[in-house]
Structure 1
Amino acid sequence: MSNTHADTVAYVRDTMLQQQDPPSNTIGMVGWAKGNLFGGWMNTVLTVLSTLFIIWIVLHIVPWFISPTWDATSLTQCRELLEGTSGACWGVIRERWPQLLFGFYPSELYWRPVLALVLLFVALAPILFAGYVTPKLLAFSAAYPFLAAWLLWGGTIWGPVMAALGFVAGYFAFALVQRVIAPGLAFWVGVLAAIVWWAVISPFMTPDLARVLPLALESVQSRQFGGFLLSITIGVTAIMCSLPIGILLALGRRSDLPLVKWLCVGFIEFIRGVPLITLLFVASTLLNIFLPPGTNFDIILRVMIMVTLFASAYMAEVIRGGLAALPKGQYEGADSLGLDYWQAQRLIIMPQALKISIPGIVSTFIGVFKDTTLVSIIGLLDPLGLANAIRADANWNGIYWELFIFIGAVFFIFCFSMSRYSMYLERKLRTGHR
C-alpha cells in the first residue's frame, strides 16, 4: 500500500537546494531606496517633493556661497563685484579672520596661543585615548594648565611654577598626615598646606626668583583676549575643572553626613536655579564689592570661576544619575571585598557611573562651550561680540550672514568633534545595549 502511494506522489526531493542570492532589488542602494524612499505611493510622492525642494535650495544657496568676493575690502566693493546679483561678501572673513580667532591679541605673538592649542591636544591624548597613557605624557598633562597660562598671559615663569608647587606641597602634606598622624584629617591638612603656600610662601618667593632667574614672556593683558581664543580659554577651563568638582558634589549630595549633604544640595540647587548670565553679572560687577579695596581680580579669571561653578552643578546631577542607575549589588560587592569608601568609589562605583553618564557629560561639555558666547553681555569680546564690533565699521556696516556662518562653522567643528568622541567612547566601553 505504501509503495503504491509513493509511486503516485508527483515529486519527492531527495537533495537540498543550493543557497540563492537575494533578489537584486532588495539589497544594496536599490533595496534601501525601495524600502525607505519608494515603499508605497505616499513615500514616493514625499521623496519626489523633497528632492525637488533640496534641488531648489541648492540652486539658490551654492551660487551665494561661491561668489567672487574674497578680495573685496568693503561691502560696497562686494556689491560692485556681484553686479547686482545676490552673493556672499567673503572679503570680511579674509580681512578679519585673525581678529575673530585671536581678538586683540598682539599679532606678533599669535604663535603663543597656537602653541597652547597644539599642546592642549598633546595633553589630552593620555586622558582621551588609552593607547597614549605613559608616565611622561601624564606628567605633561598635569603641568599643561600652568604652561598654557604662562604662554597666554606671559610674564615671569615663576608665577605658574609656584602655583603648581602649591599642589605638590598639598599632596606631600596629605600623604604625610595620612601615613603618620590621622588619615581622617589628611585631606584638610593638604588643603591647608596648599593655601598657605599660595597665600604666604609664593608671594614672598616669586619676586626674588624672578630677579635671580628672569625667565619671562611679554605680558598680555586680559582685555586683549577675544574671539575664539577667549571662548576656548574659558570653555576648556570650565570643562576641565567642572568634571572633578561635579564628581565631588554628586558624592556629597549622596553622603550620609547631613552637613555635607545639605551644603552640596544647597549649592547645586542655587546654581541650577540661577541663569548663567546672572552669575556673569555677579562676576563682572558685584564681586569686586566684596573684595578688599585695591584688589585686582582679573575679569577673565572671575568669568572662568563662575562658568566652572555653573557647569559643576549640572555635572553633579548628571553623575548623580549615573550613581543612582547602578544596582545595589555593586555597593554590596565593594563592601564584601573590604574596601573603604574612597577605594570603592575609585575602583568599582565611579568607573561604572561615569560610563553610564558619558552622553550627559559630553552634552554638558558642549552646552558649556556654547554658553561662552554669553560673556559678550558683560563686555568681553567673544566671537559674537567681535562680529558686532566688525559690523560697526563703516566698510562692513550691513554684514550679517557671512560673519555668523563663519562663527557657527567653527563652533560646529568643536562641538561635533566632542559628540563624535562621545560616540567613539561609548562604543569602546560598550555602554549601550548590544
Structure 2
Amino acid sequence: MSDTHAQSVAFVRETAIPPSAPPSTAAGPIKWVRDNLFPTWANALLTVAALYVIWLVLSSTLPWILGGVWNTNSLAACREVLDGRSAACFSVLTERWHQLLYGFKYPSELYWRPNLALLMLFFAAAPVLFFDLPRKLLIFTGLYPFIAYWLIWGGTILAPLVALLGFIVGYLVYARFVKTSFAQGFLGGIAAAVLVWAIGGYLIPAGASASAMLEPIPSRDLGGFMLNLMLGVTCVSLSLPIGIALALGRQSNLPLIKGICVVFIEFIRGVPLITLLFVASVMLAYFFPPESTVDLFLRVVIMITMFSSAYIAEVIRGGLAALPKGQNEAADSLGLDYAQAIRLIILPQALKISIPGIVNIAVGLFKDTTLVSVISLFDIVGMIRGPILASTDWNGVYWELLMFASILFFVVCYGISQYSQWLERRLATDHR
C-alpha cells in the first residue's frame, strides 16, 4: 500500500536545467556571415567577387609594404639595398618626417612649442565636444587660442593679452546692451573690441621689451601637417559662429541684413575655393591700409573661413527651416525676446538637426587645406611636391610620401566622423 501511494506522487523539480547553447548556425560568427555575407545567391556572388578583389590588392601591396627599406639616406642607396626587388622605400619618411610634420624652416629645437599647443588642444576641445564635463573647464577653452598663438608664433605676450582683453570688453558691452536691443548689443560689442585692439596696437611696441618673449617665428616658416591642422582647427572654429549669424541674418525680417547675407552666401558658394586663395595671396592686401603688412596666413584664414561659413550657413538654414513654426510661437508665449528664443529654443534644435551637414563640411574643409600649396604655403602636400621631391636624394619617391599623408588625413577625418556619430546617438536627433 505504501509503495503504491509513493509511486502516485508526482516528481517536483527543485532546480532548473541550465540553458543549452544555441546551435552554431543560429548565433555567433557563423550566423553573422550567413546573414550579412551570404543571405542570397546574388549577395554570395558579390561577396566572393569582393574577396577576390581584396586578395588581388593585398597580394600585390603587402609584399611591397612589408619588404620596404627604412634605413637608407637616398633613393639610390635604397635601390641598391632592394637589388631589383619591387618594394617600398620608406627611408624617405625616416629622413624627412620632421619636414612632413613641421615644414623645412621651423626650428627643430622649438618643436616642443607646436607639440605643447597640440596637446593643450585636446584639453581645450574636451569641454566643447563632451558636454558632461564641468563647465568651469570652458575658461581654459576660451584662453587656449591666445596661448596657442603665443606658443606657435612666439614674440611678446602682450599681443595675445590685448586680443583677449578686446574680446572680454566686447562681451561685456554686448551683455550690457543686448537687453535693450540685440543689434545694439552686437554692434556695440564689436566696436568696443575694435577700439581696444586699436589702442593696444599702439601700446604693444612700447612695452614689448619689458614683456615675456618667445623667439618669433614668421608664418612663412610654418609648414607640414602642422599647417594643415592649424588651418583646419582655426577655420572650422571661426566659420561655425559666422555661419550661424549668416543663417539667422538670411531669415531676418530686415531687408538690408537679409540682402547682405543672401548676396554674401550666394557669391561665396559660386566661387571655387582655389580662386579665393589666389585672391588672398594677391589681392586681399590691397583692402587693408597701405602701411599695414597683413600676414599671408591671416589672409588665407579669412578666405577659407568665408568660404566654409557660407556653406555652414546653408546647412544651419536647413535645420532652422525643419523646425515647426510652433517653436517660435512657444517662445513668444513664454515672453522671451529674440536673443533668448534663439539661444534657448531655436538654435539647440536646429544644430542637432544640422550635425551631419556641419561635420561633412568640416571634413571637406580640412582636406581642402591642402590647396594652400598652390599659393606657396608648404603644407604636407606642398612639402611633398616642393622641397622633398625637388631634392636629388629623393626625386622619384611618390607612393610612400602620398600614402603617409593619406594616413594622417584619414586618422583625423575618421575621428571627426566617429565623434559626430557618437554625438548623434547621444542627442538622439532622429527620435526628438
TM-score by length of 1: 0.91
Mapping for residues 33-432 of structure 1, pairs under 5 Å: 33-103=33-103, 104-135=105-136, 137-178=137-178, 185-199=184-198, 201-211=199-209, 213-389=210-386, 390-432=388-430
Q: Is the 8 A contact 1:222 1:298 kept in 2?
A: yes
Query: Which segment drifts farther, 297-306 or 42-51?
Result: 42-51
Deviations 1:226-253 (A, max 9, x none): 1111111111110000000000000000
Distance 1:183 1:222 in 2: 37
- Residue 170 of structure 1 and its aligned partner are, at CA, apart by 1.6
The aligned amino acid for 1:395 is D
- Matched position secondary structure for 2:73: coil
The aligned amino acid for 1:150 is W
Query: Which segment drifts farther, 251-260 or 64-73?
Result: 64-73
User: Given the superposition, is the C-alpha separation of residues 56 and 119 from structure 1 closer, same or farther in structure 2, using an over 3 Å criterion?
Assistant: same
- Matched position secondary structure for 1:223: helix
User: Given the superposition, is the C-alpha separation of residues 352 and 43 from structure 1 closer, same or farther in structure 2, using an over 3 Å criterion?
Assistant: closer
Distance 2:178 2:159 in 1: 29
- Residue 332 of structure 1 and its aligned partner are, at CA, apart by 1.3
User: Given the superposition, is the C-alpha separation of residues 30 and 395 from structure 1 closer, same or farther in structure 2, using an over 3 Å criterion?
Assistant: same
- Residue 383 of structure 1 and its aligned partner are, at CA, apart by 0.8
The aligned amino acid for 2:426 is K
- Residue 183 of structure 1 and its aligned partner are, at CA, apart by 6.8
- The sequence identity of aligned pairs, in percent, is 54
Deviations 1:126-163 (A, max 9, x none): 1001122332x211111111111111110000011011
Consecutive unaligned residues in structure 1, runs of 5 or more: 1-17
Query: Which segment drifts farther, 190-199 or 156-165?
Result: 190-199
Distance 2:34 2:174 in 1: 67
User: Given the superposition, is the C-alpha separation of residues 26 and 301 from structure 1 closer, same or farther in structure 2, using an over 3 Å criterion?
Assistant: same
Query: Which segment drifts farther, 308-317 or 168-177?
Result: 168-177
The aligned amino acid for 1:116 is A
Distance 1:347 1:182 in 2: 17
User: Given the superposition, is the C-alpha separation of residues 43 and 86 from structure 1 closer, same or farther in structure 2, using an over 3 Å criterion?
Assistant: same
Distance 1:35 1:184 in 2: 59
- Residue 412 of structure 1 and its aligned partner are, at CA, apart by 0.5
- Matched position secondary structure for 2:231: helix
Consecutive unaligned residues in structure 2, runs of 5 or more: 1-17
User: Given the superposition, is the C-alpha separation of residues 35 and 182 from structure 1 closer, same or farther in structure 2, using an over 3 Å criterion?
Assistant: closer
- Residue 194 of structure 1 and its aligned partner are, at CA, apart by 1.1
- Residue 190 of structure 1 and its aligned partner are, at CA, apart by 1.9
- Matched position secondary structure for 1:26: coil
Deviations 1:309-366 (A, max 9, x none): 1110000000000001111111111111111111111111100000000000111111
Distance 1:189 1:114 in 2: 38
The aligned amino acid for 2:234 is T
Distance 2:358 2:44 in 1: 41
- Residue 402 of structure 1 and its aligned partner are, at CA, apart by 0.3
Q: Is the 8 A contact 1:334 1:348 kept in 2?
A: yes
Distance 1:33 1:189 in 2: 64
Q: Is the 8 A contact 2:182 2:339 kept in 1?
A: no
User: Given the superposition, is the C-alpha separation of residues 106 and 27 from structure 1 closer, same or farther in structure 2, using an over 3 Å criterion?
Assistant: same
- Matched position secondary structure for 2:123: helix
Distance 2:322 2:269 in 1: 22
**Partner of residue 9, structure 2:** none
The aligned amino acid for 1:430 is A
- Residue 46 of structure 1 and its aligned partner are, at CA, apart by 3.8
Distance 2:205 2:79 in 1: 57
Q: How many residues get paired?
A: 413
Q: Is the 8 A contact 1:71 1:94 kept in 2?
A: yes
Q: Is the 8 A contact 2:150 2:157 kept in 1?
A: yes
Deviations 1:381-416 (A, max 9, x none): 111110012111111111110000000100001100
User: Given the superposition, is the C-alpha separation of residues 287 and 330 from structure 1 closer, same or farther in structure 2, using an over 3 Å criterion?
Assistant: same
- Matched position secondary structure for 2:208: helix
Distance 1:184 1:276 in 2: 31
TM-score by length of 2: 0.91
Q: Is the 8 A contact 1:318 1:361 kept in 2?
A: yes
The aligned amino acid for 1:364 is I
Query: Which segment drifts farther, 137-146 or 126-135?
Result: 126-135
User: Given the superposition, is the C-alpha separation of residues 388 and 249 from structure 1 closer, same or farther in structure 2, using an over 3 Å criterion?
Assistant: same
Distance 1:37 1:207 in 2: 69
**Partner of residue 6, structure 1:** none
- Residue 38 of structure 1 and its aligned partner are, at CA, apart by 3.2
**Partner of residue 12, structure 2:** none
Deviations 1:160-195 (A, max 9, x none): 10111011122233334456x877623222221111
Q: Is the 8 A contact 1:314 1:364 kept in 2?
A: yes
